[in-house]
Amino acid sequence: MNKVHASKTVEAGGVAPALTELVRKTHTLKDGTCIDKRAEAYVKAAESLALERSESATATGETASATSTQQLNAAYIEMATNTKGRVYGLGSLQYVDAEPKESPAASLCRSVGVDGRLTTVEGVVTGLKDDFSGLKQSIDLLLRMNGVDPVMHQPIPRESGASAPSPHSDSSRELNQHSPTH
């Protein structure tokens, strides 16, 4: 299972594949026939549960497109965990991140939770970068309108013999007319 996990991670560009994909890969023959009917049943049940949760999240107004890897992993762990806390079909992979006094299912659930929070944080950071970029462009425009070079923060030398006024000089005159004088 660890070799399959490593090869699937490499194929996906360094992103760990869903547990359902790993179980499907390790429990089917090359011609596509399933060796283990129990594993196949768990995979199908987990996929339908994840799809159902994704659709219900979309219906309640949350932003959820397709079933994510985290949703598939959480659903598979929920469906395939036995009474002893072992997850069927994962073999030694379920013990990779397990703490000594923690069941493999609890460890996998913790990992899924951390992955979900990390994905949320990455989305927030991307949004903040976009907001910051827009803010920087606005500040640069305001600096240029007021005759300041946005890179050097020095006054822009004005040409005294300019025949036509620039559009920026008109708008900066309007800004200066509406601003209070000190």
Three-state secondary structure string covering 75-143: HHHHHHECCCCCECCCHHHHHCCCCCCCCHHHHHHHHHHHHHHHHHHHHHHHHHHHHHHHHHHHHHHHH
- The whole-number average pLDDT for the span 164-168 is 52
Angle of helix 69-80 relative to helix 37-59, nearest 10 degrees, comes to 130
**What is the pLDDT, as a whole number, of residue 92?**
63
Confidence of residue 59 (pLDDT cuts 50, 70, 90): confident
**What is the pLDDT, as a whole number, of residue 66?**
56
**What is the pLDDT, as a whole number, of residue 127?**
92
Q: Which of 87, 84, 55 is nearest to 73 (CA)?
A: 87
**What is the pLDDT, as a whole number, of residue 128?**
94
- The whole-number average pLDDT for the span 24-41 is 83
Residue 164 gets the label, from left (phi > 0), alpha (psi -120 to 50) or beta, of beta
Coil, strand or helix at 34: strand
Confidence of residue 42 (pLDDT cuts 50, 70, 90): confident
Confidence of residue 22 (pLDDT cuts 50, 70, 90): confident
Confidence of residue 113 (pLDDT cuts 50, 70, 90): confident
| Letter string b/e over residues 111-124, b meaning 16 or more CB atoms within 10 A of that residue's CB | bbeebbeeeeeeee
* Distance in angstroms (rounded) separating the CA atoms of residues 17 and 111: 13
Q: Is the pTM of this model over 0.85?
A: no
